[in-house]
Amino acid sequence: MKCPLKRNTYIWPSGQGECQFEDCLEEDCAWWEDSLKKCSVRVLAQFSVGASVYLHNISENMPFKAQL
């Protein structure tokens, strides 16, 4: 897996940059979640998406002022 935290950007003489992501260090990385065997950044992203879905569902089911 390519690490979302580590990337190298190469600037070519034409002025255009190319971004390459480094390989994941897994257990040697400070962001590695040992109990889940996943990167903590990816785990946080998954939880954030789940929380936003729940908040969206709550806001969709709230009654409007006219309905009260």
For the chain, what are the domain ranges?
29-61
Whole-model pTM: value is: 0.51
Mean pLDDT, the chain, rounded, equals 83
- The three-point CA angle 48-54-59 to 5° equals 125
Average pLDDT over residues 23-42: 87
Interatomic CA distance for residues 3 and 60, integer angstroms: 36
Asked if the model's pLDDT at residue 15 lies above 90, the reply is no
Predicted pLDDT at 55: 94
Q: Binning pLDDT at 50, 70 and 90, where does residue 68 land?
A: low
When pLDDT is averaged across residues 15-20 and rounded to a whole number, the result is: 73
